[in-house]
Amino acid sequence: MAKKKQNTGSYLAQNRKARFNYAIEETFEAGMSLTGTEIKSVRAGQITIGDGFITIHNGNAVLTNVNIAAYTQGNQFNVEPLRPRQLLLHKREIATLNKAATEPGVTIVPLKVYLKHGFAKVLIGVGRGKKKYDKREDIKKRDQERELRRRLKH
C-alpha cells in the first residue's frame, strides 16, 4: 500500500487579522479535544477562528469563541458550535502561556487550524497588540513589496 503524502502547506482555517492586529512573539502547536461530529465538520472546513482566543483555567488551556458548524448528518450527536474546547499542551507550555497571559497587553490567539497525521491541530500565538502607526507601517511595507513585484514582473 502506498504512503499518503502529508500536505504541510494547507490549512483548514486561518486567522489573517491576528498577524495584522498583534505582533506575534511566540507560537505553539496544540491538539484540540473534539467530539466525533466536530472533527468531521473540521475536516470539511466548517470552522471559523477569527474571533477566537485562548484562556487558561485551572491549569488547562481553553479555546474560546471558535465556531465549528454543526455536522449535517450529526443529528442528536451535534454539540453547541461555540462551546469552549480544551487544548492539549504540555504542562510547561501551559505555564509559559499562563505567564505570558498575565502580562498587560498580551493576548493568546489561534493563528491556523490544520490536520497533522489525522489529528486536528491549532497553531496558537502569543501576541502583543499593535498600535495604529505599527499597522500603517505594515500596510506601507506590503504595498511597496507589491509594487516592486509588479515592476520586476514587467
How far, rounded to the nearest angstrom, does the alpha carbon of residue 28 sit from its chain's CA centroid? 10
As a dihedral over the C-alpha atoms of residue 15, residue 19, residue 22, residue 25, rounded to 10 degrees, the angle is 110
Name the pTM for this structure.
Answer: 0.80
Q: What is the pLDDT of residues 11-27, one digit of tens each?
A: 888 998 888 888 899 99
Say if residues 89 and 97 touch (Cβ distance below 8 Å).
Answer: yes
Q: What is the pLDDT of residues 80-128, one digit of tens each?
A: 888 999 999 999 999 999 999 899 989 999 999 999 998 999 999 999 8
C-alpha cell of residue 14: 486561518
Cα 102 from Cα 94, distance rounded (Å): 12
Give residue 9's pLDDT band: very low, low, confident or very high (50, 70, 90): low
Give which of 118, 143, 130, 112 is closest to 49, Cα–Cα: 112
Give residue 2's pLDDT band: very low, low, confident or very high (50, 70, 90): low
For the chain, domain boundaries: 13-153
CATH number of 13-153: 2.40.280.10
